[in-house]
Amino acid sequence: MYNSWQLIWNITVTSTEEYPHFRPASARRGFVHRNISVLPRQTCGLYTHTQFFHSYPDGFTKLLSNIEGGDLFFTIVINPVRIIIGFSIFMTHQQNYANDRLGIFSFERVINFIKCWTNLRLRWVEPARMASAYFARYAAEKVPVWSNPCDDPRHAKILPQPFNCSEMPLPNMLVVGPQKTGSTALATFLNLHPNFSSNDPVPSSFEELQFFGGPNYARGLHWYMDQFRSKIDHLIVFEKSATYFDNPDAPRTSFALLPKAKIVVGY
C-alpha cells in the first residue's frame, strides 16, 4: 500500500488514529514508513453517516455541545502533543463537506469558540510542513514500533484473511546478555531439548536476529515472524541476541511486540 501511494499518487503525508492503538487517544503517536510521514490523528465526531443537522446522532444539541466545550474543544485545547507548539490533526469525510456541510460548520465554530474563550493562537499549515515540523520536534517517533496486531481487536479485524492469529510465529522467550557470557552455548544446549527451538540462523549476523534496536528492525514484523515459521509447534520458541543487553531501544521495542515473553539474562 505504501509503495502504491508513492508510485501512483506521490503521497508523502497521511494520518492515522490507530497507532499504536485507538485508545487511549492521548497515547497516539506518529511514525515514518517508506518515506511517508504518518501523523497521529484525533477524532472530531463526524463520520460518513453524519451528513445532516436533523439526523445527527442525539440531535443538533449534541453536535453543539461537542464543539462548544465538549470533546472536540478539549481535544484541541488539552492535546497531549501540545507543548508550547501543538499539533492537532483531524480528518473529515467528503460527505461532511456536502449536504449540510457539517465539516465546515464544526471547525469554523470550534475555532471561533477557542479564540473567544482561550489565549491559544491557532495556525494552519499544509500537511507536508506539518509533518516536517512534527518530526523535527518528535524525532524519536520516526521509527515505527512493531506490535502484535492480534493483541488489539481493532487491528485484528483488518488483518488479511490468511493471517492466522492462533498460529502467530513469535518467540515466547528471549535470551539476552553481553557477549562472551555463554549465551551461545546456552542456546545450543536448549535446542537439544525437544520442547525448545530457536529462530532460523541469519548468516550475516552470527546466526542472531539482532532485530530489536538493530538494523533488521526496519525489515518489519513479517520478516521477524518468517524466521520462526517452522518452529511454532514447539513449546518454547526463543531467540538469542547479545546486542539486546546494552541496546537502549531493545527493551521498549521488544516489550511492544512480546509483552509476555520470558527473558533469560546471562552475565
Q: What residues are annotated to the active site? A: 180
* 3 state DSSP class of 90: strand
Tell me the backbone φ, ψ of residue 148, rounded to 5 degrees: -80, 115
237 close to 198: Cβ distance less than 8 angstroms:
yes
23 torsion bin: left (phi>0), alpha (psi -120 to 50), beta (else)? beta
The position carrying cell 481493532 is 154
56 close to 39: Cβ distance less than 8 angstroms:
no
Q: Report the run of H or E that residue 109 belongs to, with start and end.
A: helix 102-117
Length of the chain: 267
**Residue 204 grid coordinates:** 550475516
DSSP state of 189: H
Q: CA nearest 236: which of 162, 186, 185?
A: 186
The rounded distance, in Å, linking the Cα atoms of 142 and 241 is 24
